[in-house]
Structure 1
Amino acid sequence: MMAVVAEAPDIDLAAVLDGPPRDHNRSRVSLVGRILLYVVLVIAAALVLLPFYWMVASSLKTNNEVFTVPVQWWPSVPQWENYVTIWVKSDMLTWLKNTLFLSVVVTALQVFTGSFAAYGFSKTRFPGRDVLFLAYIGTIAVPWQSYMIPQFILFSKLGLSNTLWSIVALQAFGAFGVFLMKQYFDTIPEELSEAARLDGLSEFGIYRRIMMPLSVPAIASLTLLMFVTTWNDFLGPLVYLRSPDLWTIQLGLRTFISQYNAEYALIMTGSVLSVLPILIVFLLGQRYFLEGIATSGMKG
């Protein structure tokens, strides 16, 4: 019998020897890059939060400590009474009440009108739908200052000037809300609407019972954006609200600064009170906000 000798396969010793170190080096480079990324993000977050920290710390200082050199990052003795004095020296309760009323009403109307119009643009078919949608969205690029005067004249003739309802009428409708909700409605399968129509559900029923429950992230995003925008609005109330009992917190703080321009600690205290409600709303809805923003641009 002839012996069959099997040849051993060629082994690349260089590849065997160089493989593990390369993987090790690659993982080490990846770890270093991740650490550097975290360091950069921490520094960026600290720079963003630094003004807010300084505002809160200054609200607990005396006037002489606010602008001391070098900077005193925390008061030697926290002046908690500043948060009591601000209510005594200003009409803070009225400002907060007016601002909260406008923010809640405007946000509710924006969510309703924006989602209702978005349903029509997303789930119904009619001639000129796409052209009308583009024309409506194009109004976002038109600055309010360009039609502010004729709008003010119109509201004055309607008897809305110097009333809170002027701000409600001014901001109850917006193209951005329609755009945001339509982008989210487009991700919802059309088969759901078709099946509901076959079952005899009306268009309003589809909107109320199917589209809205499935659009909670987008609704939360729009709610948060509109609430913050209305709460921080300054120019609209400045133009339409002249009576002190109608002032929002932004107008009230501006007047307080002009009256107590040396009371730096109290000014910072009022600023903290104006930011606090927005912070609470954002913390409560940030999960839905991020989810809604992330999915609004996706197509189903």
Structure 2
Amino acid sequence: MSKSRKRKITNTILFIILSLGAVIILFPILWMISTALKSAPEVAMYPPKLLPEKPLFENFIIAWNKAPFTRYTINTLIIVFFNIIGSVFVNSFVSYGFAKIEFAGKNFLFTLILATMMIPSFITLVPTYVIFSKIGWVNTYLPLIVPAFFGNAFHIFMMRQFYRTIPNELMEAAKMDGAGHFYIWGKLMMPLVKPVMATIALISFKGSWSDFQGPLLYLSDRKMYTLQLGLQVFKGQGYTEWNYLMAVSFLSMIPILVLFFCFQNYFIEGMNVGGAVK
């Protein structure tokens, strides 16, 4: 068998495997859209059908008006905005220190920060709630915003790796001109790390936008609900309006998908370089 024929067979097999993988990954989204376009009797039908007999596009409008989802979206955007600001700038500054500044105990402190990634998040839920409750932050957005300004181990690691790819000669030249670390970080380094900054911003956006546990734990005032927490309006005792739930769930996915497709080049570059070790 010739090499070209072997290559063609290999490519065909890979194409089939990747196509099957894509179908498996996309099927839940297709099912979500299908359910969103069905009537309540069709949703309850057994055996279920993939395609609705008559697509009900008005389900999206009806579902959105079932609760103040516009208000919930604004609430979510407020939280997302401050989380992105905190994640990008704080992690960028901290990682700059670990990558470009020599100080005693740097490696030990960096290892300690990385070790926090090994701690399951549910272990800190109760202690964190108790702390925020005692300082009066429950039923405010502060518990959902302030932690972003204290750094994230994974984001610090990514940005540190990216900073290490930047030649030290640039920093030394700036120091010779009288620049300090704040100037070097803000004016010299920040423009060079745009790909990894975009990556961290996307990760922060996705995490804050999709967060259900945090708002569920800290928010009790319905006017302060986030978009994900507002989806509970479709869940009653013994019955769930699945078509409306899926409709709003699909709408809530759109911003994440749009941002990813718009900035996917930055995201891929940031993940590749940010994960590289010099």
Q: What TM-score range do you get, normalising by the shorter chain?
A: over 0.9
- The 8 Å contact of residues 90 and 256 in structure 1, kept in 2 or not, is answered as no
* Aligned twin of 1:57: 34
Q: Please, which of 153, 163, 183 is the counterpart of residue 175 of structure 1?
A: 153
- Provide the residue aligned with 2:201 in structure 1: 223
The Cα shift of 1:70 comes to: 4.7
| Total equivalences in the alignment | 277
Equivalent residue for 1:209?
187
Distance 2:153 2:57 in 1: 43
Residues 152 and 291 of structure 1: CA distance in aligned 2, closer, same or farther (over 3 Å): same
Structure 1 SS opposite 2:88: helix
Contact in 1 for aligned 2:39/2:243 (Cα 8 Å)? yes
Aligned to 2:269: 291
The code of the aligned residue for 1:100 comes to L
Please name the residue that 2:77 is paired with. Answer: 100
In structure 1, what is the equivalent of residue 241 of structure 2?
A: 263
Paired position in structure 2 for 1:123: 100
Structure 1 residues 159-168 or 169-178, which shifts more? 169-178
**Deviation, structure 1 residue 298:** 2.4
- Structure 1: how far apart are the matches of 2:193 and 2:240? 49
Deviation string 1:11-63 (CA, Å, 9 cap, x unpaired) is xxxxxxxxxxx7xx112101110111111111111110011011012111111
Q: Which residue of structure 2 aligns with residue 18 of structure 1?
A: none
- The Cα of 1:260 is off from its aligned counterpart by 8.9
Identity over the aligned pairs, expressed in percent?
36
Deviation, structure 1 residue 67: 4.4
Correspondence 1:122-271 to 2 at 5 A: 122-172=99-149, 173-258=151-236, 261-271=239-249
- Tell me how far 1:153 sits from its aligned partner: 2.2
Unaligned runs of 5+ in 1: 1-21
Q: 2-side partners of 1:150 and 1:29: how far apart?
A: 59
What is the deviation of 1:148?
Answer: 2.3
Larger CA Rg, structure 1 vs 2: 1
| Cα distance, 1:110 vs structure 2 | 0.6
Query: Retained in 2: the 8 A contact 1:103–1:231?
Result: yes
Q: RMSD of the alignment, in Å?
A: 1.7
* Contact 2:234 2:244 survives alignment (8 Å): no
Letter of the structure 1 residue corresponding to residue 111 of structure 2 = L
- Residue 146 of structure 1 deviates from its aligned partner by 2.0
Structure 2: gaps (5+ residues): none
Measured in 2, the distance between the counterparts of 1:140 and 1:30 equals 42
Q: Using the TM superposition, give the Cα deviation of residue 263 of structure 1 relative to its aligned residue in structure 2, in angstroms.
A: 2.0
- Kindly tell me: are residues 37 and 180 of structure 1, through their superposed partners in 2, closer, same or farther at Cα, counting changes over 3 Å? same
| Partners of 2:251 and 2:16 in 1: CA distance | 32
Q: Give the secondary-structure state (helix, strand or coil) at the position aligned to 2:235.
A: helix
**Structure 1 pair 72/185, CA: closer, same or farther in 2 (3 Å)?**
same
Which amino acid in 2 is paired with 1:236? Answer: G
SS at match of 1:188: coil
Aligned to 1:89, the other structure's residue is in SS state coil
Amino acid of the structure 1 residue aligned with 2:131: L
